[in-house]
Amino acid sequence: MGIRGPLHPEEDYQATPLGSSGKPCNLHRHTHWPIRNIKHDSMFCMTIIKWSCFFFLSYLKEEPRLDVLINNAGIFQCPYMKTEDGFEMQFGVNHLGHFLLTNLLLGLLKNSAPSRIVVVSSKLYKYGEINFEDLNSEISYNKSFCYSRSKLANILFARELARRLEGTGVTVNSLHPGIVRTNLGRYVNIPLLAKPLFNLVSWAFFKTPLEGAKTSVYLASSPDVEGVSGKYFGDCKEEELLPKAMDDLVARKLWDISEVMVGLLK
């Protein structure tokens, strides 16, 4: 987690073009700020609750304010496994970890308003469903479905949080970063003979990490989206959602159950 603080006058910055539109993303003014890291490690993937509390307390000790929170942790189509908290790994890391950490930091975000929360989702949310009878995949597990479900949960969480934060000066938006060349797909098994072709395709068509981060940075810093909340973006543009991602009743039920699962409500 990089922590930045202003030390020098601001300078204008404009992102390079994204997507097929050819239009640049107008980002917030760029400043040469130092970055200081708060220690974190793979403990997040194993102990969601302990890591979130650890980060929260560490941050409070070091920082008096929080202007932007970007929820970007993720795991993709892993074999069935659980965190030490007992959560199915994809639902735990991709949704519950973000849910808990954001709620712990809400007081600081409100006190720092105007502030922003950005939730990284995926277009694969379209293939997910929220099955409240088996959120932890105890009955059945399909790694692709469970990833899509966690990404749908990201959007429902962001929309419900935006509703709850109306009038506070804190905005919440979610996004699809695109297909990015990272190690997120390390659990995807590609046949040995197909790997050269896959590598060629990824280098030709996948986004670089810098390109993949641009919509997150745009939502975190651009004056273009000042005051915008509860929306979903791709390539720095607002996109329409499927009806299931705009179901307020499901979003509220998911919120209530998530509160119980992470121990915010008993």
Residue-level pLDDT at 210: 86
pLDDT of residue 10: 37
What the block records as the tokens of 199 is 């590598």
Instruction: For residue 192, give the 3-state DSSP assignment.
Output: helix
d(CA 156, CA 152): 6
Confidence (pLDDT) at 142:
96
Mean pLDDT, residues 220-249 taken together: 98
Starting at the edge strand found earlier in the chain, the sheet holding 115-120 runs 68-71, 115-120, 170-176, 232-234, 237-238
**Domain range for residue 181?**
42-261
* Residue 13 forms part of a structural domain: no
For residue 118, the model assigns a pLDDT of 98
13 labelled catalytic = no
Q: Give the mean model confidence (pLDDT) for residues 178-192.
A: 64
In a domain, 3, yes or no: no
Structural domains counted in the chain: 1
Residue 185 to residue 78: CA distance in whole angstroms: 9
20 lies in a domain? Answer: no
pTM of the model: 0.83
Task: For residue 10, tell me if it sits in a domain.
Answer: no
User: How do residues 143-182 score in pLDDT, each as one tens digit?
Assistant: 999 999 999 999 999 999 999 999 999 999 999 997 766 6
pLDDT by residue (tens digit) across 52-71?
999 999 999 999 999 999 99
CATH number at residue 131: 3.40.50.720
Measured between alpha carbons, how far is 73 from 28 in angstroms, rounded to an integer?
23
Q: Answer yes or no: is 90 within a domain.
A: yes
Is 133 inside a domain boundary?
A: yes
Of 147, 187, 218, 232, which residue is the catalytic one?
Answer: 147
Residue 34 has pLDDT above 70, yes or no: no
Share of the chain above pLDDT 90, in %: 66
Would you say residue 256 lies in a domain?
Answer: yes
Which of residues 171 and 22 earns the better pLDDT score? 171
pLDDT at 39: 54
- Position 266 in a domain: no
Where is 37: in which H helix or E strand?
A: strand 35-37
Segments in 112-170 forming alpha helices (H): 143-164
Contact 22, 45 (CB under 8 A): no
Mean pLDDT of 178-203: 63
pLDDT digits (tens, 9 = 90+) for 68-88: 999 998 898 899 999 999 999
What is the structure's pLDDT at 112?
A: 97
Q: Please list, in sequence order, all residues whose beta carbon lies within 8 angstroms of the beta carbon of residue 211, skipping any fewer than 6 positions away.
A: 16, 18, 178, 180
What is the pLDDT averaged over residues 12-38? 44
Q: Within the chain, where are the H helices? A: 43-46, 48-62, 89-91, 97-111, 143-164, 195-205, 209-221, 248-261
